[in-house]
């Protein structure tokens, strides 16, 4: 990490927010990016106060993202921020992202990318037109063992893929938590701020992205069952989807926020003709590998002979666990390297790109729209 | 177990068979039933030799089940067998079962009960008409922790059920093993002997039964994806099904025999409004229990305060594991008690009955028939 | 298992006993041995009643083991029992075992073999003099994966052994349960019936035997810490021992019955120059294997390429778990085969012999005698 | 974390070092401390180059720690470093730590504190005399679930402690890796740089500290077995110790670097009269809790109702795993808070102090000196 850190400003992530602090730790862990400015809240006073909490120069604690983009653009090139990190609720992704790109900034945006497929495609087009780097924080793809799994599956180590199970189960919305005013529950269950998908949008999007990242398979059609179990809730809290992929593989994707007892139960299992890999986010340093005849094996992060893509994002020896923040930091490391190189190349630098984000929005919205209609063709871009 | 053992004869289960030996160990473990006769193979010489292996009286080693029923019927009442145990391939279930009932014998039959729903219903009707005990060896319901799970779910300990995941995954048919002449693969992949379902019939039937046993929920409709991955195979080897239950619960059932690395991966997870239970057949003495706010708990067989239905089928102290044969033996224990009492009451004596078997056949056949048609109403009896 | 079953009589194991019933299930599971007689209790009426519970011929339900030996000896050779199974408290092992051998019967005796090393050696000598088969039910050695572990370690698969950890931890005696009159606690905490060792005798003996069975190493010296935590108890309830083996390997053996939360926590880990094996009795179908550079592997019972000694005692396919009773039955299978062959050869037929039992008694008694004295030479026979 | 970051300089930790980078990430994660100066290598050129890698002002990349202390002392108070972090091999701990304290700097020093008990006591005395904050990076005590375990045990939740098992097992020194010139192996197996203890010093020290931290028990006497398995090695690579604590509890401590297959196998189990807690560093977000009669429970970081001391060092919701770097960062967070408050109070601010470090050195050196002598009284300060 001898590259110089990238200067960034953050939109959202002020006091009481959750994910903004994670982004900041992730950006800081490897000294990949330095926070120098912020429009940390849509309430100007709170934005200022939040910036002071973080030790920002008060002059660079802005009352709105519009102010931030304008003022930073006016600073000398070697002082102004280079990248805008967007960690607001979903309905405030598209506008600042588009404006940032057009003002010449690189962008990191949380997932799902936008509320509508049209907005998502607009960001794809704008990013392409401006040539700026655009990262989407599907953070689970930052785990070294996911990168090794992707290497294995894509290089044929388990043969042609036949079946995929991906589950993302949580239990924190098993009760009408949004009625208590809890901030995270409030906006995530409100379609005007979250978009069409509840569980499907918030965590199902990660599940879709993980399958795509690891297998490279294209979804051809799907059949979904979209449910809302908590009375009074106006968005799905439990969705299961049967998947058919180009080439004949089949899959089952489940996303639920009413599965009591699950804290953050994201698991991926991929079965091929000659082998299988299993990964569990709550034990992320391991990858279970099965073959037709051999014993089960358990690979660990930092084992000899892992793929270069896994080794490159490993900081500690085996048995010294790395976890969520480290994986998240790997996304930032990739974005920073891309910005340093001046090239928006997700595959080369190791981060999910705007196209991944747009595909995710299409998938969420089509799954929800189909509801229980039966088999539906997935219309990708 | 101070009741006298029940005398039985076996149809199938000769040399080279697999499940017959398990039935015999299960029947013997608690001295619940004594094997005294057999039509152990459809090849008379092999039937004789197999009987000798088992120490049977040569006079009671019959060349066919028809011979067995006839000859045993002619013996004095206190000598002849009381029960016929049928462990043949699926297409040889209905005929001997029906004949045995009509000849006045009780019946234990392996699952799936028959190849067709019509034959299954015929056995239901015949059993009712004759009043004989009829057990179907859905053996996984014999596990104490499944009995405790059923007690918990049915008594409301996790609240109203919202979501069920049941999986039965194996990998042994990931290659065209049937082409090698391997006996188990041969008939299980042949629709004329196995019935309509491959993976769905052989193991999906257990999955359906386990859900029904633990939750008591009725399937209202389903959407299935039925696949055959191994070239040249004429029966499904991988099937996933979305389920909708009466009352609003949803489920996902997966049965596959091409999931490389799984030996016998049967798991059940039931999520209710206020709690959840998880069970894994490869670690059967445990039940994971989750609640809305409390810590995760792990219940173990023989723990104090388990349901009576679990304690009643526990032989050893905690930490001294019981497993597959013991669970299977619990089914035999239940059947023997029913025979001793002269009453075909599965719920009271603790064994799956002929009605469970018939529902299973209807489910298998409707799932396969629907294929990928989308949502389908389940037509139960 | 085409051999004829061996006829046996049982000493102890009547109503309210625990381990007798396990022995009977183990003997019956494979039809290895048939129970035909018993002196099931030291109270004659209870002995009779217990025999009736088991369906024994009332004429062969004896009021004492002396009566049983005398009466059975008088029966025709093809009717009388061939083997005496002793499942009484430890202080009633030596006398019936010796008398049985001298009366021409084979013997199966529970562990620890006797209360004193002198009595143990006397049984070794008597067995040798009479040529009868003598099995000691160190039942954990019956597990297939222990047999595979022994094959691996003894054939050099992990290189020269350096370190061994063996633990047998239980929690059921964390309170003064014996004061409640609970039968198992009562005699096991009474040195006049249990012998010198409490936790060390009851379960530490299994630990010592498991190390010896798997590694073949000889203990040269040891340093023990012998504790009694529960007030009023007159026997150890927690003992840890440092071990030095011939050839330089070191070990740690721990046996405790006050480790709250452990049901039956028997684990063995053996580390060699180039690999290691780990086994846990509460998950007995698995063996973890480590090598210097490779990934961790998990072997399962019934995997291809296991040692013949493991495969020979496997009944079910992988993933269909076998457990405590099955392992116990493997000891009976071995004893029955030895009796059938008329040869007391533990290594060949697969059962722990009288010499293993005697070494165990010497170890227990020397560990307890040494108490906290520091390093002590182990005086084996 | 609204406190201003503490300015620090690092001794050691240049190119090719391992633990220095971990310290830097840990200090940075929460913005607790800012690296502004360094004497990163004992080779001046390497020290400079290493500083440039990290983006340090070249003027503050010093060729020796002596230069750093001198030059930094001459800077204005609001510019110069406030704290010296020492991450050199053990024999270069005492001199820079003492000099730093005497020059008015706070100190963070890696463990074991020094090579000799005399040097350790000298640092205790010097720290007391100067009043500076002194943290020792026994990093495992930073884990939230260790803090919860300590709360439970010390508040009586498991009753009076009876037995403790602590193990720290690694396999990376199972071969003579030091002969290859591998830097970490080289100095850690050299008593002139590592001190008296090999495995005992490097990792046994963590084990001792963890027991002390969680239980508060004082070691009264011990019996050790100190082994060197790898030929040619001049320091222990495998040590086991029986422990007796004041008040009657007993323990077993094992530290080995030749246990093939263990990456970083640090586990702690504490058994009390009424309960037990188990923790495993390779799954650090969990704490297993046992009670006399209840089911097993699994507590997770961020569960409701954990101790304040655990919650205070939790960054993420449950199921979003935190790991090694986060725990390490908790030590830095505590040290930074103590420096901010100007008070060396390890218990209040949550970091291991110089007295813990000195006790650790006494324990290492006495265990090694005792070798296999038998029971030895532990002479604490």
Q: Is residue A322 part of a domain?
A: no
pLDDT one-digit tens code per residue, D113-157: 999 999 999 999 999 999 999 999 999 999 999 999 999 999 999
Q: pLDDT of C180-214, one tens digit each?
A: 999 999 999 999 999 999 999 999 999 999 999 99
How many other CB atoms are found less than 10 A from the CB of residue C379?
A: 9
Tally the domains of chain B.
1
- pLDDT confidence of residue C353: 98
Task: Say yes or no: D265 contacts chain A, CB-CB below 8 A.
Answer: yes
Decide: B196 and B365 in contact? Cβ < 8 Å: yes
- Is the per-residue pLDDT at D1 higher than 50? no
pLDDT of residue D167: 98
Closest CA in chain B for residue C50 = B2
Does residue A343 fall inside a structural domain?
Answer: no
- Integer Cα distance of B235 and A253 in angstroms: 24
- Whether B30 sits inside 8 A of C25 (CB atoms) is yes
> At residue C356, does pLDDT exceed 50?
yes
- For residue C242, being part of any structural domain is answered with yes
Cα(A368)–Cα(A372) distance, integer angstroms = 9
Q: Is residue B116 part of a domain?
A: no
Residues D150 and D134 in one domain: no
Q: Do C295 and A297 touch (CB under 8 A)?
A: yes
Flag the least confident range among A377-381, C65-69, C130-134.
A377-381
Q: Round to the nearest angstrom and report the end-to-end CA distance of chain A.
A: 36
Comparison of pLDDT for C153 and A44, the residue scoring more: C153
Measured in whole angstroms, the distance separating CA D353 from the mean position of its chain's CA atoms is 10
The pLDDT of residue A334 is above 90:
yes
pLDDT at C373: 87
Domain presence at residue C336: no
Q: Is the CB of B297 less than 8 angstroms away from the CB of D293? A: no
In sequence order, the β-bridge partners of residue A300 are A286
> Do C261 and D296 lie within an 8 Å CB cutoff?
yes
pLDDT at position B4 is 84
d(CA C208, CA C253): 8
Tell me what pLDDT residue C28 has. Answer: 96
Predicted TM-score (pTM) of the model is: 0.97
CB contact under 8 A, B282 and C317: no
Edge-to-edge, what's the strand order for the sheet holding B83-86?
B33-39, B6-11, B83-86, B106-109, B134-136
B358-369 per-position pLDDT tens digit: 999 999 999 999
Tally C-beta pairs within 8 A across A and C. 26
Q: For A233-264, write each residue's pLDDT tens digit.
A: 999 999 999 999 999 999 999 999 999 999 99
Which residues of chain C neighbour B281 with C-beta distances below 8 Å?
319, 321
Q: To the nearest whole number, what is the mean pLDDT of chain B?
A: 96
Mean pLDDT of D179-195: 96
Predicted confidence band at B55 (pLDDT cuts at 50, 70, 90)?
A: very high
- Between strands B265-272 and B275-280, the pairing is antiparallel
Question: What distance in Å separates the CA atoms of residue A144 and residue A350, rounded to the nearest whole number?
Answer: 11
- Tell me whether A19 touches chain D (CB under 8 Å): no
* Cα A107 to Cα A83: distance, rounded to the nearest angstrom: 5
Among A92, A107, A139, residue at a domain's last position: A139
Rounded to a whole number of angstroms, the CA Rg of chain B reads: 20
Specify the pLDDT at position B88. 97
Confidence of residue A1 (pLDDT cuts 50, 70, 90): very low
Contact B297/D297, CB-based, under 8 Å?
yes
Distance from CA of A307 to the nearest CA of C (A): 14
Name the pLDDT band for D5 (thresholds 50, 70, 90): very high
Tokens of A328: 């998240």
Do D199 and D270 belong together in one domain? yes
Cβ atoms A202, A287 nearer than 8 A? no
Contact between chains at A2 and D31 (C-beta distance less than 8 A): no
pLDDT of B143-193, one tens digit each? 999 999 999 999 999 999 999 999 999 999 999 999 999 999 999 999 999
C161 and C267, same domain (yes or no): yes
Q: What is the pLDDT at residue D67?
A: 97
ipTM, two decimals, is: 0.97
Contact: A254, B258; criterion CB under 8 Å: no
Give the closest residue to B203 by CA, choosing from B228, B166, B234: B166
Q: Which domain holds residue A229?
A: 148-316+355-377
pLDDT of residue C17: 83
Contact (CB<8Å) C264/B319: yes
Residue of A159, A226, A250 to mutate when probing chain B, most B C-beta within 10 A: A250
CA distance B39 to B65: 5
Sign of CA dihedral D180, D181, D187, D191: positive
Give yes or no for a contact between C20 and C46, defined as CB atoms under 8 angstroms apart: no
Number of H helices, E strands in chain A: 14, 14
* B292/A225 CB distance under 8 A: no
- As a whole number, the mean pLDDT across chain D is 96
Report the Cα A122 to chain-centroid distance in Å: 19
* pLDDT at position B2 over 60: no
Residue range B34-50: mean pLDDT, rounded: 94
Looking at the complex, does the CB of residue B296 fall below 8 Å from at least one CB of chain D?
A: yes
pLDDT digits 0-9 by tens, C278-316:
999 999 999 999 999 888 999 999 999 999 999 999 999
Chains with ≥3 Cβ pairs under 8 A against C? A, B, D
pLDDT score, position D35: 97
CA distance A242 to chain B (A): 8
Task: Check whether residue D133 and residue D261 sit in a common domain.
Answer: no
Q: Is B19 on the interface with C (CB under 8 A)?
A: no
Residues C161 and C133 in one domain: no
> Has residue C251 got a pLDDT over 60?
yes
Evaluate whether residue D1 is within a structural domain: no
Which residues in chain A have Cβ-Cβ distances shorter than 8 Å to C278? none
Q: Which of D109, D139, D169 is the last residue of a domain?
A: D139
Residues D76 and D154 in one domain: no
Q: What does C199-261 look like in DSSP terms, one character per residue?
A: HIIIIIHHHHHHHHHHH-PPEEEEEEEEE--STT--S-SEEEEEEEETTS-EEEEEEES--TT
Same domain? D135 vs D149 = no
What pLDDT does A198 receive? 98
Query: Three-state SS for A162?
Result: strand
Give the residues across from C81 on adjacent strands: none
Does residue A348 sit within a domain?
no
Which candidate in D163, D164, D268, D293 is best for mutational testing of the C interface (most C CBs within 10 A)?
D163
pLDDT tens per residue, range B220-267: 999 999 999 999 999 999 999 999 999 999 999 999 999 999 999 999
Closest residue to C321, CB basis, from B29, B52, B323: B323
Q: Is A9 on the interface with D (CB under 8 A)?
A: no
* Domain at B371, CATH number: 3.30.360.10
The answer to whether A317 contacts D283, with C-beta atoms less than 8 Å apart, is no
Distance from CA of A53 to the nearest CA of C (A): 46
Q: What is residue D16's predicted lDDT score, i.e. its pLDDT?
A: 80
Q: Are residues D187 and D230 in the same domain?
A: yes
Residue ranges of A 362-381 with Cβ closer than 8 A to chain B: 372-375
The Cα of A316 is separated from the nearest Cα of chain D by a number of Å equal to 8
CB pairs under 8 A between A and B: 115
Q: Domain with D64 in it: what CATH number?
A: 3.40.50.720
Mean pLDDT for the stretch of residues D193-206: 98
Q: Do D260 and C242 lie within an 8 Å CB cutoff?
A: no
Residues 198-257, chain A, touching B (beta carbon < 8 A): 223, 225, 227, 229, 238, 240, 242, 244, 248, 250, 252, 254, 256
Percentage, residues of chain D above pLDDT 70: 99
pLDDT of residue A248: 97
C207 and C301 both lie in a single domain:
yes
Element spanning C328, H or E: helix C324-341
Closest residue of chain D to A53, computed from CA coordinates: D2
How far apart are the C-alpha atoms of D67 and D39, rounded to whole Å? Answer: 8
Q: Under 8 Å CB-to-CB from A372, ≥6 apart: which residues? A: A224, A225, A226, B375
Interface touch C259/D271, C-beta < 8 Å: yes
Asked whether the beta carbons of residue B295 and residue D295 sit closer than 8 angstroms, the reply is no
Q: List the 266-295 stretch of C: residues with Cβ below 8 A of A.
A: 289, 293-295
Of C293, C297, C304, Cβ closest to residue A297: C297
In tens, the pLDDT along D51-81 reads 999 999 999 999 999 999 999 999 999 999 9
Considering the domain architecture, whether residues C53 and C131 belong to the same structural domain is answered as yes
Residue in D158, D238, D261 nearest the CB of C296? D261
Chain D adjacent subunits, 3+ CB pairs under 8 A: A, B, C
pLDDT digits (tens, 9 = 90+) for D224-255: 999 999 999 999 999 999 999 999 999 999 99
Q: Do B319 and C170 touch (CB under 8 A)?
A: yes
Q: Which chains touch A (3 or more CB pairs under 8 A)?
A: B, C, D
Query: In Å, what is the CA distance from A139 to each residue of A198, A320, D282, D315, D325?
Result: 19, 20, 22, 16, 18
pLDDT of res. B106: 98
Q: How far is C110 from chain D (nearest CA, A)?
A: 29
Task: Choose the final residue of a domain: A88, A112, A139.
Answer: A139
Q: How confident is the model at residue A335 (pLDDT cuts 50, 70, 90)?
A: very high
Q: Over chain B, what HEC string results?
A: CCCCCEEEEEECCCCCCCHHHHHHHHHHHCCCEEEEEEECCCCHHHHHHHHHHCCCCHHHECCCHHHHHHHHHCCCCCCCCCEEEECCCHHHCHHHHHHHHHCCCEEEECCCCCCCHHHHHHHHHHHHHHCCCEEECCHHHHCHHHHHHHHHHHCCCCCCEEEEEEEEECCCCCCCHHHHCCHHHHHHCCHHHHCCCCHHHHHHHHHHHHHHHHHCCCEEEEEEEEECCCCCCCCCCEEEEEEEECCCCEEEEEEECCCCCCCCEEEEEEEECCEEEEEECCCCCEEEEEECCCCEEEEECCCCCCCHHHHCCCCCCCCCCCCHHHHHHHHHHHHHHHHHHCCCCHHHHCCCEHHHHHHHHHHHHHHHHHCCCCCEECCCC
Asked whether residue A363 is assigned to any structural domain, the reply reads yes
With CA atoms as reference, the chain B residue closest to C263 would be B319
| pLDDT, mean of residues C146-171 | 98
Cβ C126 vs Cβ C120: under 8 Å? no
Nearest Cβ partner for D320 among A31, A52, A324: A324
Asked if D131 and D155 sit in the same domain, the reply is no
Q: Both C115 and C158 in a single domain?
A: no
Among D25, D265, D321, select the one facing A323 at the smallest CB separation: D321
Confidence of residue D2 (pLDDT cuts 50, 70, 90): very low
CA distances from C34 to A30, B3, B54, B147, D18 (A): 71, 18, 14, 32, 65
Q: Which residue in C has a C-alpha nearest to residue A318's C-alpha?
A: C295
Instruction: Give the list of residues 6+ apart from residue A95 with CB closer than 8 angstroms, or none.
Output: none
Query: pLDDT-based confidence at C1, cuts 50/70/90?
Result: very low
Contact assignment for B298 to D303 by CB distance below 8 Å:
no
Total Cβ atoms within 10 A of residue A128:
14
With an 8 Å Cβ cutoff, are C304 and A293 in contact? yes
Give C302's contacts in chain A (Cβ within 8 Å).
none
């Amino acid at each position: 990490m001898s590259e110089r850190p990238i200067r960034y400003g953050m939109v959202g992530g002020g006091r009481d927010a959750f994910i903004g602090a994670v982004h900041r730790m992730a950006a800081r862990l490897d000294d990949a990016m330095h926070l120098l400015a912020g429009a940390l809240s849509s309430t100007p006073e709170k934005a200022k106060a939040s910036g002071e909490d973080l030790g920002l120069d008060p002059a660079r604690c802005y009352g709105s993202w519009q102010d931030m983009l304008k003022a930073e653009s006016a600073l000398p090139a070697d002082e102004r921020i280079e990248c805008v990190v967007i960690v607001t609720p979903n309905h405030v992704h598209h506008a600042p992202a588009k404006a940032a790109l057009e003002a010449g900034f690189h962008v990191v945006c949380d997932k799902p990318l936008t509320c509508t497929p049209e907005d998502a495609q607009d960001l794809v087009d704008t990013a392409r037109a401006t040539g700026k780097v655009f990262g989407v924080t599907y953070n689970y793809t930052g785990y070294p063992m996911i990168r090794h799994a992707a290497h294995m599956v894509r290089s044929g180590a388990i043969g042609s893929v036949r079946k995929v199970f991906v589950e993302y189960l949580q239990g924190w919305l098993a009760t009408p938590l949004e009625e208590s005013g809890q901030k995270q529950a409030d906006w995530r269950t409100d379609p005007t701020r979250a978009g069409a998908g509840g569980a499907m949008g918030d965590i199902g999007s990660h599940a879709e992205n993980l399958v795509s990242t690891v297998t490279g398979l294209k979804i051809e059609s799907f059949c979904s069952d979209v449910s809302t179990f908590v009375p009074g809730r106006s968005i799905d809290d439990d969705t299961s989807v049967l998947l058919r992929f180009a080439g004949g593989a089949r899959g089952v994707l489940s996303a639920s926020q009413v599965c009591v007892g699950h804290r953050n139960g994201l698991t991926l299992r991929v079965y091929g003709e000659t082998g299988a890999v299993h990964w569990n986010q709550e034990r992320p340093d391991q990858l279970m590998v099965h073959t037709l005849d051999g014993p089960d094996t358990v690979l660990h992060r930092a084992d000899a002979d892992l793929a270069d893509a896994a080794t490159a994002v490993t900081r500690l020896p085996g048995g010294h666990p790395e976890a969520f923040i480290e994986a998240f930091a790997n996304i930032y490391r990739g974005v920073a390297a891309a910005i340093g190189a001046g090239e928006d190349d997700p595959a080369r630098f190791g981060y999910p790109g705007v196209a991944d984000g747009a595909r995710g929005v299409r998938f969420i919205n089509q799954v929800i729209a189909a509801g229980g209609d039966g088999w539906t063709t997935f219309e990708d871009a």
